[in-house]
Homo-oligomer: A and B are copies of this chain.
Amino acid sequence: MNNGTRLDNLIHKLRNHGYRVTPQRVAIMNALVCSESHPSVEQVYEQVRTNFPMTSLATVYKTVAMLKEVGEIQELSFGGESSRYDATTPHSHPHLICTKCHRILDPDVHLFQDLSNEIAEKYGFKITSERMDFFGICPECQKA
């Protein structure tokens, strides 16, 4: 799915949930979808403001909360630091987080879903979402 159709998909999801489609929300969703870096609210806000200066930080927070509630973005929170968001795919997936340069990658791991199903069955949990983060040093930072 390219970014254009992912954005369209998000817009439809909003409509289906009875939310209104405002220019601010479209700009925010577009910034989230186009970013490769799992941005923070602050970063989304700055990106949006380059093309759309009359948008407030509060609206970014509200939109992100709405997307979280609809289940279309994943929040990655860290102690102290601000949360970062992943809107690239609607389903959960693992993250590789470099603790030095703060880059976040999306590794390709298939065992993940199996693991989730196994745990759900074994413990009688009805799992709604997952989060799996690996913290470490990326190859580039290891060289440096």
Q: A residues within 8 Å of B by Cβ?
A: 68, 75, 77-79, 83, 94, 96, 98-99, 105, 107, 109, 111-112, 114-116, 118-120, 122-139, 142
Whether A125 contacts B99 in the complex (CB less than 8 A), given A132-B132, A133-B130, comes out as no
- B79 and A77 within 8 A (CB): yes
- A96 and B83 within 8 A (CB): no
Q: Which residues of B contact A123 (CB under 8 A)?
A: 96, 105, 107, 138-139
Q: Which residues of B contact A125 (CB under 8 A)?
A: 96, 98, 134, 136-139
A68 nearest CB neighbor, chain B only: B79
Q: Which residues of B contact A138 (CB under 8 A)?
A: 123-125
A80 nearest CB neighbor, chain B only: B77
- A119 and B134 within 8 A (CB): yes
Whether A136 contacts B127 in the complex (CB less than 8 A), given A75-B79, A115-B111, A122-B107, comes out as yes
- Inter-chain CA distance A142–B114, complex, in Å, is 22
- Inter-chain CA distance A135–B74, complex, in Å, is 12
Starting from the known contacts A111-B111, A131-B135, 14 additional A-B residue pairs (CB-CB under 8 Å) come to A77-B79, A98-B125, A109-B118, A111-B118, A112-B115, A116-B134, A120-B136, A124-B138, A125-B137, A126-B142, A127-B135, A128-B137, A131-B131, A131-B134
